[in-house]
Structure 1
């Protein structure tokens, strides 16, 4: 049986439409997966080609506040414990719970240096870790939550050099730094199926504790993945 040129053109147009629809579907899926693992664009160093999408682990912690209100960070005089609390306060969040994004920043500012001198810089530091308001809204459509699994929390070897260079009047007594390494996890839902991603992260938390203050306070954060060595 012979086909007319018009019939061939119809088949060709159908094939083009099918291919285009498949390409659009692939782009939408890739965008969803990328959103689940994207940091704030101003601070992210990962690319979509590095994503590893899989079912979320069964041992994922519950990072959502039970009352819809973020709990305050427990006061502590132990520097390492405080650094770990700060690390989780930065990375552990859940977009499904009705907690404003700004609350995550405010919770950290409340434990900043009481003098307020470092607070403006700290707010800018935290903004480099949290999603933007636009990204937060998009992540919410995928029921995204994030948490940090800490591997190490150590005073960086360069901290002693920083203290020497600062001189006797450079830092308040009890000022120190902890470099945190770990894995940032994200999990969400895409078309009814669970998806997740994970990335290694490293950063430094600068804090001040006793004898300057009875409890530890947060000074600044390094840029993500640019820790003090």
Structure 2
């Protein structure tokens, strides 16, 4: 289903209200909570005891020592997805704080603020808890991502076909990324490294809704759209 031109950006919040029709459609393809204006607490990843106290992402001034590399501005959705995925998975406990890495992702989110809270919750589920981060720091732990594949999932086409006018921002697209998550550190005097497969889906809105791409939501880690 073709997406219709989007009204002026000042009216975004009005036009992204959820309708029951699109909600039902998205539930059918596993997209519950990924429309543009979820009700409070709806559609966010389950917050377990291991993730509830993870990194807060409220805006705060960066320390003078700098901050992690920001996600590059672009109108290329796939390039944005790759860069955002690297920023989401890559961190080094010896360089920056947990909140610094979380803030980079939230800063690349919906500029209207509609999805900010939900995206922040998504990001917390991808990062270690504050306690775990402190322990990982004692081992000088760092993590990075090797991307194997980036593609638009078939189920996203189904969602677009069932969406009604005005329910999704024009230029919204989903990209599923699969690859390997690497983690390395120092145990005693020995360098150690582990790796495991990882996959997730990023929901992104670009032109004509925004002048550049922004991250709306994340799927649960290892539960991507296919």
For normalisation by structure 2, the TM-score amounts to: 0.71
- Equivalent pairs counted in the alignment come to 166
Cα deviation, 1:62-97, whole Å, max 9, x if unaligned, reads xxxxx6422222101000000011100111100011
Match of 1:123 in 2: 120
The 5-angstrom pairing of residues 46-195 of structure 1 reads 68-97=66-95, 99-195=96-192
> Larger % of helix: which?
1
Taking only aligned residues, the RMSD between alpha carbons, in angstroms, comes to 1.5
Q: Establish whether residue 204 from structure 1 lines up as the match of residue 191 from structure 2.
A: no
Runs of 4+ residues deviating >6 angstroms: none
Q: Distance in 2 between matches of 1:157 and 1:135?
A: 36
Find the structure with the greater CA-based Rg.
1
Unaligned runs of 5+ in 1: 1-39, 44-66
Partner SS for 1:211:
coil
> What displacement does 1:126 show?
0.3
* Deviation at residue 111 of structure 1 after TM alignment: 1.2
Summarize deviations over 1:6-35 as a string: whole Å, max 9, x none.
Answer: xxxxxxxxxxxxxxxxxxxxxxxxxxxxxx
| Map of 2:42 onto structure 1 | none
- How far residue 124 of structure 1 moved from its aligned partner, in angstroms, is 0.4
SS of equivalent to 1:158: helix
Unmatched runs of 5 consecutive residues or more in structure 2? 1-48, 53-64
> TM-score, normalized by length of structure 1?
0.70
